[in-house]
Amino acid sequence: MTAYDAVVIGAGHNGLAAAIHLAAQGWSVAVVEGCSEPGGAVKTRELTLPGFRHDFAAMNLSMFAGSPFFATYKDELIAHGLGLVPVRRCFASVFRDGTCLGVSTDLEETAGAIGALSSEDAEAWRKLFGEFGTDAPHIFGLLGSPMPSLAAAKVVWKAWREKGSGWLYDTARMLLASPRDFLDARFRHDKIKAMMSAWGLHLDFAPDVAGGALFPYLESMANQAFGMVIGRGGAGTIIKAMTALLKTKGGEILLGTPVERIEVSKGVATGVTLADGRTITARKAVISNVHPKLLFGRLMSADPAREAFDRKIEKFRAGPGTMMIHLAMDGLPDWKAGAVLNSFAYVHVAPDLAMMSRVYAEAMAGLLPAEPVLVVGQPTALDPSRAPDGRHVLWVQVRVLPAEIQGDASGTIVGTHWDEVKNAYADRVLDILEIYAPGAKAKILGRAVFSPIDLERENPNLIGGDNLSGSHHLDQNFLFRPIAGYSRYRTPVKSLYLCGASTWPGAGTGAGSGFMLAKMLAGKR
C-alpha cells in the first residue's frame, strides 16, 4: 500500500493544475488516470492520416492563457515545452447571402466591418468595448474566485466602490439575460447579433435561454481585446507541459489505472482502490476530477447519511450532445464569403438567431437537427506544424445534438442509435459546409467522426457527448454548481473534494476549479 498526502482521480487539466499547485506547496501527490494517456478532453492525436494532428475535443486555449494558474506557472510551463500561438483574427460567422462578419484584435478592422452594415452598431461596438476595459477586471475577478467566498465578496465590494450600485444592477441583469435580450438592447443589425449569439451555443444557451448573455459578451469582447490562443502543435501542449512540470515537483502520474472505488472510513475519504487491486492511501485529500454522477454513482458505496445529496447529484443535468468531425484536407476551404476567412481560427456556421433557436429546440426534443450549428476550426491556417506541408486539418464541432435520438427533424435519416446514424449525419454536416465553402468535400483526404456516444466512450466524463460536464443554465451555475451548498468543491464525505467542469466556474480550459481548490487546501502563497 502506497501513501501520499493527496490522490487526484483523473489527469484532465483541472486535476493536473490541482496536483501541480499542491506539489509546489510541498504535498506528496499522485494522479491516477484510467486512460492510457492524460488530458481528458484536451488531447491531440493523429486521428485521420499520419502526420495530421487533430485536437480531439478542446482547441481554444484562450482561457488557459488568461488563467491565474498560467500566470503563476507560466515560466515553468514554457520551460517544460508549452507552446502557444496567438491568433489575431479570432472568429467569424458566415451568412446565407454569401457574406461574413468577424472579430480581430484590430478594433478598426472589426468596427469597420460592422460599420459597413450599420454605423450605429459600429459605434455601439466601440462603446461596449470601451466599457469592457473597465468591467473586465471585476467580471474575471468574480469568475476566478470560489463561489461563495470572501474573495468573491471583495470583488463585488471593489466593483461597487469603483463603479457604483448602478453598475452592479446592470451586471446582475446581464448575468440573468438571454443572448437575444442583451443584444437587442445594444445592436440593430441581425448579422451582428448572430455573430455574437453563436458563442452561446458553445455552452447550452440558445438565443432565448436566460443566463446566456454573459458568454457571447465575454468571448466577443475578450477576443477583440486579447485575441485567441491555440496550442503549438495542438492543444495537448498544455498537458505535456503540465505532466512534465508535475513530475519535476515530485508528483507521480499513474496511467491506465482505473479507480475501482473510493475508500471511506468513519465518514472520511482515506484513499482509492484501483481496478488491479492496489490501494493508494491519501493522508489529507482525495480529489476527484471525474463527473460527480460517476463519482457518487459508481465509485462510492451507498450511505444512508448521503441519500439526499446523492439524489440531487443524480438529477444534475447534462448539457446537449456534441459531434466532432476531424478532417485531413488537401487545402483550406474556399469560403464563398471570401479568402479572408482562411485567416480566422473559428468560422461559425450559424447564420441567424431563428436557426439557432430551431436547432436547440430540435435537439432538446431528441431530434437530429435538420441544420445544426457548426464551429469550423482552422488551426493549420495559424499553426502549419499540425499537418504535412501544404496540407491542413479542419476541426468541426457540431452543436447541439441529442444524446438519445427520437427521430430526424428532416425525416431523411432512419435510426435511433448514434452507431447507426453517425456517418449519415456527418454527411449532412459536410453538405452544409459545402454550401458555404463549395468544393470543400473534394479536398477531404480522410475523416474521423465521433458521435456523442463515441465522445463518452473516449471520456466517460462527457456523458451523452456533453462536453460541458453539466448544463450551465442558471439553476446549475454559480452557487448551484454542481448543486446548492456544494459549490466550494467539498462533498458530504470529509477529505473528498470535487474539481473539473462540473464545478464552478464550469467548462473551458481555464483550470480554474483545480487551481482554486488546491489554493484552498494548501493555503494561497
The pTM score is 0.97
Handedness of CA 44, 220, 348, 460 (dihedral sign): positive
Tell me the per-residue pLDDT of 465-517, one tens digit each, with 9 for 90 and over.
999 999 999 999 999 999 999 999 999 999 999 999 999 999 999 999 999 99
Mean pLDDT of the chain: 97
Tell me the per-residue pLDDT of 288-345, one tens digit each, with 9 for 90 and over.
999 999 999 999 999 999 999 999 999 999 999 999 999 999 999 999 999 999 999 9
Instruction: Write down the pLDDT at residue 518.
Output: 98
Query: Which of 1 and 412 is assigned the larger pLDDT?
Result: 412
Helix H, strand E, coil C: the string for 102-123 is: EEECCHHHHHHHHHCCCHHHHH
Structural domain boundaries of the chain?
Answer: 2-42+57-84+234-316+472-522, 112-225, 317-458
Strand 373-377 versus strand 392-401 pairing type: antiparallel
Domains 2-42+57-84+234-316+472-522 and 317-458 in one fold: no
Tell me the per-residue pLDDT of 250-282, one tens digit each, with 9 for 90 and over.
999 999 999 999 999 999 999 999 999 999 999
CATH number of 317-458: 3.90.660
Strand 392-401 versus strand 321-329 pairing type: antiparallel
Tell me the per-residue pLDDT of 77-122, one tens digit each, with 9 for 90 and over.
999 999 999 999 999 999 999 999 999 999 999 999 999 999 999 9
> 67-92 as b/e, with b when 16 or more CB fall inside 10 Å?
bbbbebbeebbeebebbbbebebbbb
Beta carbons of 138 and 159 less than 8 angstroms apart: yes
CATH (one of 3.40.30.10, 3.40.50.1370, 3.30.300.30, 3.50.50.60) for 2-42+57-84+234-316+472-522: 3.50.50.60
- Give the model's confidence band at 525: pLDDT under 50 very low, under 70 low, under 90 confident, else very high: very low
C-alpha cell at 77: 510551463
Instruction: Write down the pLDDT at residue 193.
Output: 98
Q: Looking at residues 133-158, what average pLDDT do you find?
A: 95
Instruction: Write down the pLDDT at residue 1.
Output: 67
Instruction: Write down the pLDDT at residue 523.
Output: 83
Q: DSSP letter at 298? A: I
